[in-house]
Amino acid sequence: MNFQNIPRDDKTIKRAVVPKLGALSFFDYKQIEPRLTAYFAEQIGYPEFADQIRAGVGPYEAVARLATGKESLTETERDVWKRIFLGILYGAGAARVRETWIEETGQVISMQQARKIVKTFKENWPAIPALQDMVQRVHARRGYIRALDGRQLHMEQYGEHKLLNKLIQGSAAGIMKQAVVRVHAHLKTTDLRSHIVSVIHDELVLDGPERELPELNFIVPQLMIHEEVNKTIPILVDHEVSLTNWAEKIGYDEWLQSLKEAA
């Protein structure tokens, strides 16, 4: 089964996925797309996004600040600019931005207004059009672009507007592949029974005895870090666990607190 095709909110199927050895562990890269965008932007001379993340600003809060030029934003504003950012990163035009704006805010805007939003976004945050221009020029010259792990990404079947997204997604996929190799290799050198059972989007899933959760919580996030990127942008990994099924996972800290309360 391809677990990536299961809708995030589908609890019925997720309840059927249970641990065989006692506990499922879910290690999820936190906001990997904006963090990689910040990394690549700094590489071409635009450090503003990276600076905000290093200062402790949440990546999507930083996205909204850069896109609007405002320091203080509502939750709705953060959500709408998060979606617009990811859409533009993927190559969305004014039509998709208009749809996103209406869905998030409930405010109906015209195509002219949507085009102005895209224009203002790129004027306020020149790193994004600069990155888009860079990958297009590299692809035109070489016939491919390189992901962070050096893989060649050939784009004949994609439009140029999707090149930047391919760079980000391809690099994220490379980081995850590296994590799978490292975690698997490490577990084989230990007496731990925990093992990898799946990769779901940006999430590594392990099955193992409950008693091994603290050691996994200590070592797995370290193995998932990409050292080169992490020198510039902190790569964070969340850990969730479930003793019952995939649909009922909770944060590792919540699980740890439940043990303390039961003791």
Same domain (yes/no): 84, 140 = yes
CB atoms inside a 10 Å sphere around CB 182 = 16
According to the model, what pLDDT value does residue 105 have? 87
User: How many separate domains does the chain show?
Assistant: 2
- Whether residue 135 is contained in a domain is answered as yes
Return the closest-CA partner of residue 186 out of 150, 147, 225.
225
From 135, 162, 189, the end of a domain falls on: 162
Tell me which residues of the chain have a pLDDT lower than 70: 1-2, 156-159
CATH of the domain at 231: 3.30.70.370
According to the model, what pLDDT value does residue 70 have? 87
CB 135 within 8 A of CB 158: no
Q: How far is CA 30 from CA 81, 84, 178, 180, 216, in A?
A: 18, 19, 16, 16, 17
Range of the domain at 109: 32-162
According to the model, what pLDDT value does residue 216 have? 98
From 111, 137, 162, the end of a domain falls on: 162
Residue 220 token pair = 């797995």
Give the bridge partners for 146, in sequence order. Answer: 152
Give the bridge partners for 154, in sequence order. Answer: none
DSSP secondary structure, 156-195, as one string: TTS-GGGHHHHHHHHHHHHHHHHHHHHHHHHHHTSS---E
According to the model, what pLDDT value does residue 34 have? 95
- The SS3 of residue 146 is strand
According to the model, what pLDDT value does residue 134 have? 93
According to the model, what pLDDT value does residue 73 have? 86
- Whether residue 233 is contained in a domain is answered as yes
- Whether residue 167 is contained in a domain is answered as no
Q: Is the pTM of this model over 0.85?
A: yes
According to the model, what pLDDT value does residue 157 have? 59
Return the closest-CA partner of residue 232 out of 86, 47, 67.
47
Same domain (yes/no): 101, 112 = yes
Distance, in Å, from the CA atom of 49 to the CA atom of 65, rounded to the nearest integer, reads 9
